[in-house]
Amino acid sequence: MRLLLVSDLHYALPQFDWLVRNAPAFDLVVLAGDHLDISSSVAIDAQSVVILQYLELLHGVARIAVSSGNHDLTGPDSNGEQAALWLAEARDHGVPTDGGSLMLGETLVTICPWWDGPQGRDTLEAQLATDAARRPGRWIWVYHWPPLGSPTCWTGRRHYGDADLVGWIERHQPDFVLSGHVHQPPFKPDGAWADRIGNTWVFNPGHQIGPVPAHIEIDFEVGLATWMSLLGTEALSLADSQAPPRTLF
């Protein structure tokens, strides 16, 4: 099984074009949030229409899993908390997204929404507990925000991570957490695109400009994860007990 991870494309349409071209080479393509860009001059509603079309294209050429990020929130849900309401249309067309999951052989992928309040947090906690009870040989979480204290959330000045995720990782010990949100870590000497927390690998590809997104390829059969960006390429063995020292600094 080969997996491609991207995150934080932020309405960079040439990067979505690159993704459509390259997606067929992978068994699963993960988009870990922030597909839209609240700082763009294009209205959010218009952005969501365009990105839904890209998700439809991707869904036609590959298996995909799509989680929301903070830039993707478009209005209050039934609990009055902000949510990526537009992703419901993708779900209606068969795209696995927020609150859902998918099975690929012996791999369970749990897709976590960006939560904005206590109800959303509790719903996600229940989702993780439900999937924990049926976890197969490999369990992957798609969760937009890396865990607090990890080098995958290092901005160059401070750790900017999710404290709740730290506790959930400790409790459930998934095999992989595929994240994004914090753009800088892979490009900072004290940051990283990969971290090992107990039995859990955490990955964050980071964000870069240009037509090709920073991305991570994971080959489970070979046991190799590779990060590719404008800075260069780094790789690690999934059998390692911890992330190796960075080679690009």
Q: Give the pLDDT confidence score for residue 162 in this predicted structure.
A: 98
Q: Give the pLDDT confidence score for residue 184 in this predicted structure.
A: 98
CATH of the domain at 138: 3.60.21.10
Query: Is residue 246 in a domain?
Result: no
Residue 247 has pLDDT above 90, yes or no: no
Query: Is residue 120 in a domain?
Result: yes
Which string of b and e fits 222-246 if b means at least 16 CB within 10 Å?
eeebebbbeeeebebebeeeebeeb
Query: Is residue 75 in a domain?
Result: yes
Report whether 33 contacts 7 (CB < 8 A): yes
| Structural tokens at position 119 | 């109800």
Q: How many residues does the chain have?
A: 249
Q: What is the mean pLDDT of residues 196-219?
A: 98
Query: Is residue 9 in a domain?
Result: yes
Q: Name every residue whose Cβ is closer than 8 Å to that of residue 48 and which is 6 or more positions away in sequence.
A: 36, 74, 86
Chain segment 132-160, per-residue pLDDT in tens: 999 999 999 999 999 999 999 999 999 99
Distance CA 215, CA 2 (A): 13
Chain segment 67-87, per-residue pLDDT in tens: 999 999 999 999 999 999 999
Query: Is residue 145 in a domain?
Result: yes
Query: Is residue 247 in a domain?
Result: no
Number of domains in the chain: 1
| Structural tokens at position 151 | 């080098």
Q: Name every residue whose Cβ is closer than 8 Å to that of residue 60 and which is 6 or more positions away in sequence.
A: none
Chain segment 16-31, per-residue pLDDT in tens: 999 999 999 999 999 9
Residue of 218, 233, 176, 225 lying closest to 26 (CA atoms): 218
Cα separation values, 203 from 6, 120, 193, 222, 248, Å: 10, 23, 6, 17, 17
Tell me the whole-structure pTM to 2 decimals.
Answer: 0.98
Distance CA 190, CA 156 (A): 7
Query: Is residue 209 in a domain?
Result: yes
Chain segment 101-130, per-residue pLDDT in tens: 999 999 999 999 999 999 999 999 999 999
Domain ranges, residue 52? 2-237
Over the Cα atoms of the chain, what is R_g? 17
Residue 248 has pLDDT above 90, yes or no: no
Using alpha carbons only, give the angle 84, 86, 92 rounded to the nearest 5 degrees: 115
Query: Is residue 248 in a domain?
Result: no
Q: Kindly state the percentage of the chain with pLDDT values over 70.
A: 100
pLDDT band at 249 (very low <50, low <70, confident <90, very high): confident
